[in-house]
Amino acid sequence: MTATTAALGSELDRPYEGLPPTATADFARDGFIHLSGVLSPETIAEYEPVVTGEVIRLNTQHLPLAERDTYGKAFLQVTNLWEHNAKVKELVYSRRLAGIAASLLGVHAVRLYHDQALYKEPGGGITPWHADQYYWPLSSDRVCTIWLPLQETPYEMGPLAFARGSHNFSIGRDLAISDESEAKLSELVAAQSFEHVEEPFALGDASFHRGWTFHHAGPNHSTVPRRVMTVIYMDADIRVTEPVNDNQVADRGWMPGTEIGQVPDTARNPLLYDGLRSG
């Protein structure tokens, strides 16, 4: 290991110093937060080529954009890269990222649910309005996703955008990501006067959002892919619940061997951060 690599690795383990004092309360109120300088440009440069290489290697979507449905045009999606590449695992297992998630959720510890690389190709379409927790058979909403762009992400590339406070609104939670969710949730967000928050992301910025926060993204009008790595964190004490749709049945695969009512403490769901043991 070179000195540079060791330094980068240590950044992934060091606490993030940029959380405002009101971050936990803000996150509970708004359902999301956009943070600056979560990772340094040097760390992004170290891990982006590895993530991109795995996306290229593991991608199974080969239809031309014009022949895909709305979901297929939104992004190339590759899941659980950490199981395929030790370098990606360093990023996914980062105590810095998991520690932010625990602080924002107001819990002492978080587990890994899964990761996803989401690459919006040049000319890629919208990501329809949706809430992630529609897919998750979990007992509470103490779950969040980091959305970590691996390049600067101006408006033209389709940065993630949020409906502030929408995680406290129960209507629309029965919609999978689709043309239907785009149409119905667009109307709902407007009717409820949720503030629509869309901002560009500088290199090293990241957002975190709760499972029931409605969010979407615009098309990629640039000439390069919008490369994003996501990791989903869950309260370490969360339990598996009875699935209420086919997607939740499928997502139980992220928690192998865990029965209804149990905490998903498996090799696929390790503790990534435990504040009670960090001292």
DSSP alpha helices (H): ranges in 1-140?
3-13, 23-30, 41-58, 70-74, 86-92, 95-105
Mean pLDDT by 10 residues, the chain (279 residues): 58 95 97 98 97 96 91 92 97 98 98 98 96 97 97 98 97 96 96 97 98 98 98 98 96 95 96 82
Helix (H) or strand (E) holding 251: helix 246-251
pLDDT at 279: 46
The CATH class of the 30-264 domain is mainly beta
Q: What's the sign of the alpha-carbon dihedral 189, 190, 192, 197?
A: positive
Query: Locate tokens 């390790």: which residue?
Result: 270
Question: Domain map of the chain by residue range?
Answer: 30-264
Cβ 88 vs Cβ 264: under 8 Å? no
CA 223 to chain CA mean position, Å: 24
Cβ 16 vs Cβ 38: under 8 Å? yes
Which of these, 228, 255, 254, 231, lies nearest to 97 by C-alpha position?
Answer: 231
Neighbours of 40 (CB within 10 A): 14
pLDDT at 255: 96
Non-local (6+) Cβ contacts of 168 within 8 A are 31, 212
